[in-house]
Copies of this chain bind each other. A is one copy, B any other.
């Protein structure tokens, strides 16, 4: 009768329960992600840039199922570029995803297959539909941890390799104290 999984909203903001997988990315794991290589080298390589929890109650690849994510991106910049996630397309390209923001300030940066880039501001309560065929990454543009949740189809998969190789066509920098998306 108890729910199998809970988010401890009031305290830790962590997803707790059987089958929840945790992962985190430290700066050292994000080599090649940020523009300013000198600033990257000078950064604390052990700092956690973001954490992701995933609840996957059906097998990966199953059609018609859904997975659920709980993410935290910590504030900071590498040079003037905001801390952000690696970003990915779905392997099964034409599958959508929702992100919604619970706390903090950020930006959901998206890029379509023609390499058009845009972003949506994230703040508590914003809901974002990421259409199929659109890669996505999240930057923290504020001064506190950015906390958001996600839901995606269990047959979506993750293609990180395309972004690792080709990057996004634009990057989000702080310019005059504000986020600005600048083409590569």
B96 to A127, Cβ gap below 8 A?
A: no
Q: Quick check: is A27 within 8 A (CB to CB) of the other chain?
A: no
- Closest-CB distance, A171 to chain B (whole angstroms): 15
| A53 CB to nearest B CB, Å | 11
Chain B residues near A108: list those with CB within 8 A: 3
In the complex, A125 Cα to B15 Cα: how many Å? 9
- A window 8-34: CB within 8 A of B: 8-10, 15, 17
Contact indicator B55/A127 (Cβ below 8 Å): yes
- The chain B residue sitting closest to A64, CB to CB, is B95
Known: A64-B132, A98-B66, A129-B66. A120 touches B153 (CB 8 A): no
CB distance from A43 to the nearest CB of B (A): 28
B127 contacts A66, C-beta separation under 8 Å: no
Q: Which residues of B contact A6 (CB under 8 A)?
A: 125-127
- Select from chain B the residue with minimum beta-carbon distance to A11: B125
A-B contact pairs, 5 of them (CB 8 A): A3-B128, A7-B100, A8-B125, A68-B129, A98-B151
